[in-house]
Amino acid sequence: MAAAALAERSVSFPKSARVWQFFGWVGFLVCLYLLTFPGIAEDLLGWHYRDVETSGIARAFYQWMPLVLSMAIWGILAWRSRPAAGTRDETERVGFESWLLPLTAVLCQVLALARFTEDKWFVAGVFNLVFLALAAAWMAKGGRQGLLQPMVLGSVLLVALVTARFFDLFESLAVRGFIFLLVGAVLGTEGVLFRRARRHIQTTDVRL
């Protein structure tokens, strides 16, 4: 995803950003969604405690090199995205949802190495919050700017997360009913904000 953002800002093959974005977001969302399940999170983050037939150097290289490289690319992106005397266009700003990717990578590394708790729900809870923050960021962006794609993506993520937790977290029927009412209210509010934003955009276009 950082490579996609850098490609968009470069003069050499900027259209390749769409390819980077597709594979980047698909891979990230699949992995993040799996980590919201306690059993899977415990299994995936505990890989280095098993008997692995690799040397210590190879294992350390596998564990640290992808993180170091990705953080280096995100660092370059952060440097190029900094405000420069008001010359940077608002459209070039990297969205909050994009910065959740390096944050999640660091969280994975910390939780896998520290192991300061054996509570698998604590580990999965962290990724549930990240997943929820991503859904909320996309929904807010779509509702605020009148953009259909991020609004739909955020709504789908929210429904997917609530559906997953419906079967493994909420045991009370009353709580389940309340959660679905709350989700319905959020989606309804999002729709109202989206219509207001679209109406404002259309009114502005007519005036221009």
Confidence of residue 25 (pLDDT cuts 50, 70, 90): very high
Q: What is the pTM of this model?
A: 0.77
Domains of the chain: total? 1
The yes-or-no verdict on residue 87 having pLDDT over 50 is no
| Mean local confidence (pLDDT), 165-188 | 73
Would you state the torsion angle of the CA atoms of residues 102, 105, 106, 112, taken in this order, to the nearest 10 degrees? 180
Between residues 131 and 173, which one has the greater pLDDT?
Answer: 131
- Centroid of chain to Cα 135: 8
Between residues 115 and 42, which one has the greater pLDDT?
Answer: 42
pLDDT at 134: 92
pLDDT at 85: 41
| Mean local confidence (pLDDT), 24-44 | 88
The yes-or-no verdict on residue 151 having pLDDT over 80 is yes
pLDDT at 193: 79
* Domain boundaries, position 127: 2-207
Between residues 126 and 82, which one has the greater pLDDT?
Answer: 126
Q: What is the pLDDT of residues 92-129, one digit of tens each?
A: 566 788 888 988 888 888 887 776 666 778 888 889 99
pLDDT at 113: 76
Helix/strand/coil (H, E, C) string of the chain?
CHHHHHHHCCCCCHHHHHHHHHHHHHHHHHHHHHHCCHHHHHHHHCHHHCCCCCCHHHHHHHHHHHHHHHHHHHHHHHHHCCCCCCCCCHHHCCCHHHHHHHHHHHHHHHHHHHCCCCCHHHHHHHHHHHHHHHHHHHHHHHHHHCCHHHHHHHHHHHHHHHHHHHHHCCCCHHHHHHHHHHHHHHHHHHHHHHHHHHHHHHHHHHHC
8 A C-beta contact, residue 73 and residue 6: yes
